[in-house]
Structure formats: structure tokens, C-alpha cells
Amino acid sequence: MKRCGLALVLLTALFACNKPDQVDQLLSQMTLEEKCGQLTCPIGFDYYGKAEDSIWLSDRFVGVMDTLPLGSCWAVLRADPWSRKTVETGLQPCESAHLLNMMQRHAVENTRLGIPLLFCEETPHGHMAVGTTVFPTGIAQASTWDPELLEQMGEVMGREIRLQGAHVGYGPVLDIARDPRWSRVEETLGEDPCLSGILGTAVVQGMQKHVVATLKHLAAYGIPQSGHNAATAEVGPNRLKHDYLPAFEKAVREGGAGSVMTAYNTIDGVPCTANRWLLEDLLRQSWGFKGVVFADLNAVNALYATHHVAADPAEAAALALKAGVDIDLGGYNYGGFLKEALQRGLVTEADIDRSVRRVLRLKYELGLFDHPYVDERLAVEVGSPENTALAKQVAMESAILLKNDGTLPFCENINKVAVIGPNADQMYNQLGDYTAPQDSNRVVTMLEGICEKGRAEVVYAKGCAVRDENDADIELAVKTAQSADAIVLVVGGSSARDFKTSYEDTGAAIVDEHVSDMDCGEGYDRSTLKLLGRQEELMQRIYALGKPVVTVFICGRPLDMNRASEQSNALLLLWYPGMEGGSALADILWGDCNPSGKLPISIPRSVGQIPVYYSQPVTGDYVEESAKPLFSFGYGLSYTQFEYGDLEINDQEASVMVTNLGCRDGDEVVQLFASVKTPGLALSSEALVAFQRIHLKQGESKKVVIALPENDDYYFNYHVGGSSLIQR
């Protein structure tokens, strides 16, 4: 931690130490405007200017600090089409550290009390800035079922933003996703509260070795009505507590999460940003949360402008503050109307002081009053080769083999490979939403990874675009594929924003007449799960050639895989695999990596099944089709075979013998399920209660022992699952 230039506290024990004397002394000196400023967190990507080697603070930033000294800033370093920052106009890591030091110096030296700023940055799968390490998105991270690996990833993400001068990383996303039409499935850790809680807690523990992690989004944001982003969540209190809150509770109680962000949606008509039961009674009183609560961007103003539960912006500010929201992300209401709310008697100064005290306490615990700056020279370590290697490891472990007739791994007689499809050589299509522009030399596409592998001659044709039906040359793709021994067909979707897309004030993309590849990512909800553009036509023509075809899906949500599951020889799901996705794919194709990912979310057969998740109470089949998903939660094949036997269960633990019967070393995920007994309630048929990832050499057997959950009174009929046991 000294390498970061600060004597930082270990943030996994962030709130173990108290600073009441310093906080109260400082609070007693503050004016009302200064207090309101501490609760304000505006967008900061226009707070600087850059030209060639020169960086300066913008007049806008200086003016704001003169009139309402800010407590924090969000997304100063963000680069994407919404911020209008490119690789050239955005900041490289050392420039980022220099800028945040400049801003911090201005706050410390040019405001009356010299209170340091809290810098907050987006960190769902790496820092959303130029030159950083881009990991696979959340749904891919969850496919690893590997808490230890994700803790390492979290530590790298936290350290990278801390080296650049930031203090808070927004992530992980713990929303339970059960409607793949929703545009933000890619950010989540899937459909299950146990898996999301364990993996999310691991990410938090890694990040908080360097910064404060922010859990998103409290609560039930991942089940919007009709799949519309931010739509109401139709959920009762019992299911809310059973399914949609446990992951957050675990990350608070065991992970020690330092901050939480409210969701845009309503629950039973109550907006989450104005839900005192959720933020005070449950989060703080029941769970013991000691950190700060952020409203999502402009969510406070939405109480007035969207939900209409407040008569005006001042009343919106009052509702959020009294509900337990400490920091107004966007800053419009707390910065502009909290003073008016006080004057009108809608809040008291004690209400304001309560949240200011929390913000100041966090800054003391971070050591910002003693060490407000970072060593700019150390920012060269951002995006290091070691971090890139970790991104590849996450990508490899997240890849899910859904079908294989023996075509994979490729054997020596595969001398020529045709790489076909819209996602084969489009680098931003594999990176996912909340990704900054990156130097193309730092990202390995599917085509590049296969070419760099050097195991076969490679030919390539795009065939068609993800969405644009006019951008297609299917005949060329078919002709190219005809000459190959095997075909790698790379299809799917994209969350790649471009500079022609329009955006809402919240940064969500707006679906309009402009046809980009984007079919996913915040704001891009779907009414179907079909492959768009002419992808189905391309697939049909390629399968008709009768050659071995490996179909690879690059996407952010479950898509229609019926044709691929029936007609391809092998089927791989990589989600959005990040900057090293192409290298990971090549290793899998030639067997240098044995795929081990497992589904964290079910793949439906059709939209008519939605919602379809493994823990639903059992129902009968539909007239048209089975009620079971095409591929079930927890499913994922390997190049080897695992056998389970000798399951034993006592009062404290379950044990099972797992044997690798194949001729390759491999990883398996032993999954422990149980029937659920909730007196007087029928909430789920079964539940994942624990899991363990193991490595077995060929022919090796291992006894796997898994501790039973503490609340064992609620579980019975334990059984294990794995690649050999979970069937389609």
C-alpha cells in the first residue's frame, strides 16, 4: 500500500476506527453551503481541459468550488462517447493522477476549510478510463464461479483507480437478473443470490484493499417490469428478502462494503431513493452498515421529475435525505435545493449534519486529510502486463462450453480455419458497456487471437453486422468458409457505444434511427432475444456447408441459441470477455485451456418462458414447448469427464468424491443445492447453498467437503450438481 503514495488503512476494516472528535470539530465550523457541498457529487468529466501536453482546471470547476465547495466528484476520468472523450482527448493514467492531484490541491489550498475531495469512478469490470485493464463484464466474471480469482481482480481494479488518485469505485453490481430482455444483465452476477453474494463479496474484499467499493443497485433493479430499464419491480416483501437482498447483505456484513448506491426503480410504488425502510431500517439498523449511501445519477431529481412523489426539487431533496441518501450523484438537488428544503422546514439541520458526518468520517478513514495526494509516477503501473494476464485468466475461466461433439479441441489435421462473423474482429463488441476507448494494440480480438496462436492458416470474412442489414456480404463469407477445414463462427450482440448515439442525462443510450451494433448495454432493452441483422441467415448458410463449425457467442445477455445448439458441432459462450478475449478463445480452441465456466443465468428457449430460473417452483410444460430452459443455471461442459460418487451428509457438512475420468487435467465446480423450507411460504423449489471450484489432474480423485449453511433449518434434501449432473 505504500507504493500508492499513501499510508492507507486496510479498507476491509474500513470503519473499525472512529474519528468523532475530528469530524465533529470540523462539522461545527462549516456553513450551511459547505455542508450541502459535501453531499454533492456532480459529473466531473468537463472539469478539465487538455491540449497536447497541457492539462488545466476548467473555469466550471473553479467556479463551482468558489460558490459551493464540493465534497466529491464523479467520473472525472471517464472516457466514452457520452463524455465525448476519446483515446486522444481523454487522459492516460499518469495524466489522470496529475489532474486529480491538481483538483485536490485546489480543494485543499483554495477553499475556506481545505476539505479534500472524494473522487468516484466507474469500476464494474475495470476502471472506465483510457489505458486501464479491461476485464470481462460481470456476467462473465460470475461464470468463473471462482471467488479467489475475483478477489484478485477486485484488488487490481481498486489499485488501478487508487494509483490515479480516486477513492471510490462503483461496483460490483449485485442486482439479481431474471429477465434477459433487460439491458443491464451483462453487469450483474446472474440469477442466483448465493452465487452473487459470494462472488460480489470477494470483489468487494479485493477492491477495498485500496478503495471503497459501491454496491449497485439497492434494490430489485434487475427484475424491471417488461424488461424496461428502471421500470418498477413487481415483488413482494417476502421474495424481496429471500431473493433480491441477500447478496447485498452478505457484501455488507462479510465484505464490509463502504458504500451503497440506490436503484432508479420503485418497489410496491416506493422509489428506492426515498425508501427509509430500505436504507435506514434494513441497511443501517439491521445489517449494521456504517458507510455512505449514494443516489444513482439524477435519482434524487427523479423523485420529482419521473416518479412524481415530490412536488418540486426541494421536496425531492428532502425525501431522499430523510430516507438515508447521503450523497446526491449529479448534485442537482442537494447542491441547488437542500438549503431551500431546510428553510421550508422539510428537513432539519440535524438531518443534514447526519449525512455530512458520514462523508467526513469516510474521508478521515481514507487518510485524505493527512495524505490527500498520490505519487503520479506510480500510475505507470496501471494496465501492466501482470494485470493484463489476470484479465486473460478471468476470460479463460469464464468461457462456457455448452455443446461439443468432439470437434474441440482442434486436432492436428485442422490446417486451415475460417473465422466468420460480425463479432470476430470488432474490438469494442467484446468489451461491454461501461468501457472506455482503448488503444487497439491493447485489445486482442477473436480473429487476432486465432491468428497469433499460429496453429493453422486463417482466413476471415465478416459476413454481416450485428444489426445493420445493409452491412453484409454473406456470399463472400460462405466462399471464404468453403476452403477451410473448420469454421469458427462468431456471432452475438454488442454494447459498443459510438459517437453517433444519443444519450440521456443519466448516460443511458437512447434507441433511435441510428443503426449501430449496439443491442445491449444500459438503455438497450429488448422485446425478443433473436439475433439481429442478418446473423441467422449467415448461420444457416455456414451450417449448410457441412463442415465442422464452432459457434462462439459474444454477448451481454442470454440470446436465442436454438439454431446454434442444434446445428453447430461445438458451442461456446464467452459473454463480453474483455481485452484478452481473443487470446482466451484461441487457447480454448486448441486445448491449451480446458473450458470450465458454468452458467450463472439460465438460457431460455424463447421469450415466452421469461422469467425462467432454476429455483422457480416447479410447473408443467407449455403447449408449444418445454418449460425448462435450453441450458440451465450451473451448466457447463469440459474437455474431460467428471464422475461423482459417495455423497455423504451430516449435520455440519456434505462430502462427495469427484473423479476426473478423462485424459486431460480440468477444473470442476461442485455445486451444493438443497430444497428450501420456509414455513408458511412457497418461495423456491431449491436453492444453491454453496459451491467449490477444484482442479483435478487426469485420473485423479478428490474428496470435496463443503460446509452446510448456518441456517440449516431452512434446507433439506441436499444434492450436488456439476457438468456431469446438470442436464439441459
Is residue 66 assigned to a domain? Answer: yes
Is residue 460 assigned to a domain? Answer: yes
583/661 same-domain check? no
Q: Which helix (H) or strand (E) holds 659?
A: strand 653-660
- Read off the pLDDT band of 716 (50, 70, 90): confident
- Read off the pLDDT band of 3 (50, 70, 90): very low
End-of-domain residue from the set 381, 410, 430? 381
For the chain, what percent of residues have pLDDT higher than 90? 88
479 phi, psi to nearest 5 deg: -60, -40
Q: Give the distance from CA 622 to its chain's centroid.
A: 33
471: left (phi > 0), else alpha (psi -120 to 50), else beta? beta
Summarised one tens digit per residue, pLDDT across range 525-537 is 999 999 999 999 9
Is residue 392 assigned to a domain? Answer: no
CA angle 480, 484, 486 (to 5 degrees): 120
232/269 same-domain check? yes
Query: Can you tell me the mean pLDDT for 683-708?
Result: 94
Q: Which residue has the cell 491449451?
A: 592
Residue 345 predicted with pLDDT over 90: yes
Residue 725's pLDDT is 57
* CATH number of the domain where residue 249 is located: 3.20.20.300
403/375 same-domain check? no
Summarised one tens digit per residue, pLDDT across range 646-691 is 999 988 899 999 999 999 999 999 999 998 887 788 788 889 999 9
Is residue 691 assigned to a domain? Answer: yes
Residue 676's pLDDT is 83
216/116 same-domain check? yes
CA angle 717, 722, 728 (to 5 degrees): 95
Residue 371's pLDDT is 97
* CATH number of the domain where residue 578 is located: 3.40.50.1700
- Read off the pLDDT band of 514 (50, 70, 90): low
Closest to 469 (Cα-Cα) out of 541, 552, 532: 532
Give the chain's domain count: 3
Q: Which residue has the cell 481473443?
A: 582
Report the distance separating Cα 248 and Cα 272, nearest Å.
14
End-of-domain residue from the set 582, 601, 620? 601
60/202 same-domain check? yes
Is residue 728 assigned to a domain? Answer: no
184/101 same-domain check? yes
Report the distance separating Cα 492 and Cα 572, nearest Å.
11
* Residue 409 preceded by cis peptide, ω within 30: yes
Residue 677: Cβ-neighbour burial (10 angstroms; 0-12, 13-18, 19+): exposed
Query: Can you tell me the mean pLDDT for 103-131?
Result: 98
Residue 712's pLDDT is 62
Summarised one tens digit per residue, pLDDT across range 184-219 is 999 999 999 999 999 999 999 999 999 999 999 999
In sequence order, the 6+-apart residues with CB closer than 8 A to the CB of 705 are 653, 654, 655
Residue 369's pLDDT is 97
435/354 same-domain check? no
Report the distance separating Cα 183 and Cα 180, nearest Å.
8
Closest to 40 (Cα-Cα) out of 76, 72, 74, 75: 72
Is residue 387 assigned to a domain? Answer: no
Query: Can you tell me the mean pLDDT for 115-130?
Result: 98
Residue 20 predicted with pLDDT over 50: yes
Residue 19 predicted with pLDDT over 90: no
User: Picking from 168-172, 449-453, 512-516, which range would have the lowest pLDDT averaged per residue?
Assistant: 512-516
Summarised one tens digit per residue, pLDDT across range 593-635 is 999 999 999 999 999 999 999 998 877 899 999 999 999 999 9
Summarised one tens digit per residue, pLDDT across range 547-589 is 999 999 999 999 999 999 999 999 999 999 999 999 999 999 9
Is residue 621 assigned to a domain? Answer: no
372/406 same-domain check? no
Report the distance separating Cα 533 and Cα 464, nearest Å.
8
Mean pLDDT of the residues in the chain: 93
Query: Can you tell me the mean pLDDT for 536-547?
Result: 98
457-461/416-420 β-pairing? parallel
Residue 13 predicted with pLDDT over 60: no
Closest to 171 (Cα-Cα) out of 143, 135, 118, 225: 135
* Terminal Cα-to-Cα distance of the chain (whole angstroms): 47
Task: Confirm if 129 and 164 have CB atoms less than 8 A apart.
Answer: yes
377/455 same-domain check? no
Summarised one tens digit per residue, pLDDT across range 70-113 is 999 999 999 998 899 999 999 999 999 999 999 999 999 999 99
Closest to 618 (Cα-Cα) out of 627, 610, 607: 627
173/307 same-domain check? yes
DSSP readout, 69-135?
--SEEE-TT--STTTT--TTTS--HHHHHHHHHHHHHHHHHHSSS-PPPEEEEE-SSS-SSTTS--P
Closest to 638 (Cα-Cα) out of 395, 408, 414, 413: 408
End-of-domain residue from the set 354, 381, 408? 381
Is residue 391 assigned to a domain? Answer: no
Domain, as residue range, for 679: 642-721
* CATH number of the domain where residue 651 is located: 2.60.40.10
In sequence order, the 6+-apart residues with CB closer than 8 A to the CB of 616 are 684, 685
Higher pLDDT, 724 or 641: 641
**Cβ neighbour number for residue 59 with a 10 Å cutoff:** 10
DSSP readout, 589-614?
HTTSS------SS-B-SSGGG-S--T
Residue 12's pLDDT is 42
Q: Taking the model in full, what pTM does it have? A: 0.95
Residue 384's pLDDT is 98
Residue 399: Cβ-neighbour burial (10 angstroms; 0-12, 13-18, 19+): buried
69/117 same-domain check? yes
569/714 same-domain check? no
Task: Confirm if 209 and 10 have CB atoms less than 8 A apart.
Answer: yes
Task: Confirm if 431 and 580 have CB atoms less than 8 A apart.
Answer: no
- Read off the pLDDT band of 640 (50, 70, 90): very high
- Read off the pLDDT band of 9 (50, 70, 90): very low
Q: Which residue has the cell 503520479?
A: 376
Summarised one tens digit per residue, pLDDT across range 445-497 is 999 999 999 999 999 999 999 999 999 999 999 999 999 999 999 999 999 98
40-41/327-329 β-pairing? parallel
Query: Can you tell me the mean pLDDT for 399-422?
Result: 97
